[in-house]
Amino acid sequence: MSLKVMNLNTHSPVETINIVPASLTHLDALISLENTCFSSDKLSRRSFKRFITNAQSVFFVVLMADEVVGYLLTIFHRGTRLARLYSMAVSPQYRGRGIARSLMKKGELAAEEKGAHYYRLEVSTENTLAINLYHSLGFKEFKLIKQYYQDHTDALRMQKRIRYYQRSSVHTVIPWFAQSTPFTCGPASLMMAIAGLKKGYTFSLEEELAIWREATTIYMTSGHGGCHPLGLALAAKARGVEAQVWINSTEPLFVDGVRNEDKKNIITTVHHHFVRQSVNAKLPIHYENISTDIIKKACNEGAFTMILISTYRMDKKKAPHWVVVSGYDEKCFYLHDPDPNEHDQDQVDCQYLPIAHQDFERMSVFGSNRMRTAIVLK
């Protein structure tokens, strides 16, 4: 969860500020600074240590006469072009010297150097000085989050585009739902798309599990079965949504990673059952790769594309995972991901995740046979 940024005086002259990468030698000083600056939503020693040593974060401290008087922590999400200001603090006696502004500029430069397209943050609605600072640095508000912090104060979510293109992103309006289990990314993604298409459609655990039961492959390489694209499309059709499916193979899906012959036979049987159901329901199936032009056209027409990705570029686990394409621009596709990671328990960064086109092409294939499948819903 993102932390509140302490009150900042942004109008005083800037002194020479020594900003250096944080190291484990700074741990005690960081804990002391954290306790001084925050009464709630504090980072623990364990968290500080993890972020200092984590390749997916950039952590700076400000030194004055070898004393740690401030820090800024930015985290990056594997496989995306999104950077997030996770926490920032400046010692009370050193505020009003331009330290926060210098830290923000340093963090933005580091984010750009790591290939990020957007820099995001959350800030308490009561922290007007910090909000003014972020506005002056080019951040724009795009969401109000009620009772975001431990003390129940609200937060503004703000964002700055740090790499600019010729035209604005094309974003369709779509809500976000978190999957309730490790194996219901498909149902959660389908429910997001349906809610974007049909007013009054709301998330429920009962509906999520019902869709999974309708669309499951029974088995996967391990654990419970994931959802077959034809099963999800049939579930969408049963709920009054038009669906078309793209699959670049006529062979049974998801069997290449399964060693047990009995499980392979069951998955194959389920696959053929979905094919027969789809034929009877006159479900359009395109046995070819879906093109990026088709995905963009769907966005432009207010439709939604569910696409199966490999999570390898995100978590190194090579798991099949359903997401929804929520927009695009000339450099990125944007995804709604139903699976929040340990830093995103309140849906931060799970909406409109920027994925560079070249990364999207690599992510949207799964398995040794390079399966690519997608569902367009409208």
- 137 lies in the same domain as 187: no
- 220 lies in the same domain as 351: yes
**Residue 231: exposure state from Cβ atoms within 10 A (0-12, 13-18, ≥19):** buried
**Residue 147: exposure state from Cβ atoms within 10 A (0-12, 13-18, ≥19):** exposed
| Residue-range definition of the domain harbouring residue 200 | 171-377
Residue 228 lies in a domain: yes
- 154 lies in the same domain as 266: no
- 322 lies in the same domain as 345: yes
Residue 3 lies in a domain: no
- 220 lies in the same domain as 290: yes
Which of 164, 191, 218 is the last residue in one of the domains? 164
Residue 259 lies in a domain: yes
Structure tokens at 64: 């004055």
* CA 71 vs CA 9, 47, 49, 283: distances in Å: 16, 14, 14, 55
- 347 lies in the same domain as 313: yes
Domain harbouring 198, CATH code: 3.90.70.10
* 3 state DSSP class of 42: coil
Q: Which residue has the tokens 């980072």?
A: 43
CA–CA separation, 143 vs 156, rounded Å?
6
- Beta strand pairing call for 332-336 and 320-328: antiparallel
The string over 233-266, giving b where at least 16 C-beta atoms fall within 10 Å of a residue's C-beta and e elsewhere, is bbbbbebebebbbbbbeeebbbbebbeeeebbeb
- CB neighbourhood size of 363 (10 A): 24
- 232 lies in the same domain as 360: yes
- Looking at the 3D structure of the chain, how many domains does it have? 2
Of 40, 50, 96, whose CA–CA distance to 75 is shortest? 50
Query: Please, are residues 208 and 339 in contact by the beta-carbon 8 Å criterion?
Result: no
Residue 371 lies in a domain: yes
Residue 152 lies in a domain: yes
- 244 lies in the same domain as 317: yes
Per residue of the chain (378 residues), what is the pLDDT tens digit? 344 445 555 444 445 689 999 999 999 999 999 999 998 889 999 999 999 999 889 999 999 988 999 999 999 987 778 899 999 999 999 999 999 999 999 999 999 998 888 899 999 999 999 999 999 999 998 888 888 888 889 999 898 888 654 445 555 678 999 999 999 999 999 999 999 999 899 899 999 999 999 999 998 766 688 899 999 999 999 999 999 999 999 999 988 878 889 999 999 999 999 999 999 999 999 999 999 999 999 999 999 999 999 876 566 567 789 999 988 887 788 889 999 765 444 455 688 878 888 888 888 888 778 899 999 999
- 152 lies in the same domain as 195: no
Residue type, 68: V
pLDDT tens digit sequence for 76-91: 987 778 899 999 999 9
- 105 lies in the same domain as 223: no
- CB neighbourhood size of 213 (10 A): 12
pLDDT tens digit sequence for 335-370: 899 997 654 444 556 888 788 888 888 888 887 788
Domain harbouring 31, CATH code: 3.40.630.30
Which of 145, 164, 183 is the last residue in one of the domains? 164
- Beta strand pairing call for 285-286 and 332-336: unpaired
Residue 7 lies in a domain: no
- 143 lies in the same domain as 184: no
- 159 lies in the same domain as 209: no
Residue 2 lies in a domain: no
Residue 1 lies in a domain: no
Which of 146, 164, 182 is the last residue in one of the domains? 164
∠ at Cα 114 (15, 89), nearest 5°?
Answer: 40
